[in-house]
Amino acid sequence: MSIVSGPTTERIVRNGLFFLMIAGFGVAFLYDGYRGYPAKNFDEHIASLDIANRENARSAPVYPAVTVESADTASKVSTKFRMADQREALAQLYSGPPSFETAEAIYYFGPDYRMKFPIAGGKLQTPVGSATKHNRTDIRAQKMLGWLLAGGAALVSFFLAGILLTNFVLDDAGIRYRFKGAATWDQMKSLESSRFTKKGWVDLVCDKGGAEKRMRLDEYHLKRFTEIIAEICRRNGFEDPVAKEKAFKAQQAGA
């Protein structure tokens, strides 16, 4: 008699769903960190403009140097006497020209902050800074969580691949269990089943060159677990814990 068994459907489904959950959350966090939150912050920048100017500002550059920490330095440009000097100082501070400008003000957009410099009397006035809903800490946290979950998903994918490759073969030569080893019939000495009722697994105790080796057989892992245990017990004269458990439950049901 030959028995070939792969993994149980339940194990594949459960671990597959776990992988999809981790991978899905990882993708969501990475998206928010690299695209979602920055896009929402940029939309806030655009919404701060007059309606007539919003469409024209859609291609406005975002400068990493535009932060709440740089606001004090930026406010000092209002002390300069000429607008040309003010604009040059801002271009050096933020590494570029204004993100957007109108006749009334110039704007610098950052990842989580924006600066508005009103224009009056031919000069830039004291700027007004505004923070967005999602700050840099929020964005970094999304990226960090996303990469942690991506790493977790990669590990789970290897584990899932191992499950899918589960292969157990029982034939006249003995048993062969991929990743766990093999044993001939004369090497099998006993079946430790004291934990079968609570844990659902048994240990096949084997003698290999005078050394005791155990191979765990789990009903959650092997699709044809019941048949495998029955054949092992039949060939070796062991008590079948699966049949014993079924008989006990049948007796309780009939009582």
The CA distances from residue 4 to 86, 188, 226, in Å, are 80, 19, 12
Q: Give the Cα separation of 22 and 212 in Å (integer).
A: 39
Q: How far apart are the first and last CA of the chain?
A: 36
Q: What confidence score (pLDDT) does residue 202 get?
A: 96
Amino acid 246: pLDDT: 87
Render pLDDT for 26-74 as a digit per residue (tens, 0 to 9). 999 999 999 999 999 999 999 999 999 999 999 999 999 999 999 999 9
Contact 204, 188 (CB under 8 A): yes
What letters, b where the CB count within 10 A reaches 16 and e where it falls short, cover 97-109?
Answer: ebbbbeeebbbbb
Per-residue model confidence as pLDDT tens digits over 66-97:
999 999 999 998 888 899 999 999 999 999 99
Q: Give me the pLDDT at residue 45, please.
A: 97
Judge contact between 156 and 14, C-beta under 8 A: no
Q: What percent of the chain has pLDDT over 90?
A: 88
Please give the pLDDT value at position 255: 60
pTM for the structure as a whole: 0.80
Percent pLDDT > 70 in the chain is 99
Domains of the chain: 167-254 (2.30.29.30)
3-class SS at 124? strand
Whether the predicted pLDDT of 149 surpasses 90:
yes
| Environment class of 9 (CB within 10 Å of its CB; exposed 0-12, middle 13-18, buried 19+) | exposed
DSSP secondary structure letters along 135-147:
-HHHHHHHHHHHH
C-alpha 230/C-alpha 233 separation (Å) is 5
DSSP 194-224: TTHHHHSEEEEEEEETTEEEEEEEETTTBTT
Our CA angle for 7, 193, 250, nearest 5°, is 85
Where residue 240 falls among pLDDT bands split at 50, 70, 90? very high
pLDDT value for 156 = 96
Section 191-200 average pLDDT? 92
Residue with tokens 């458990």: 245
The chain-wide mean pLDDT, for the chain, equals: 94
Are the beta carbons of 68 and 127 closer than 8 angstroms?
A: no
| Rounded Cα distance, 191 and 201, in Å | 11
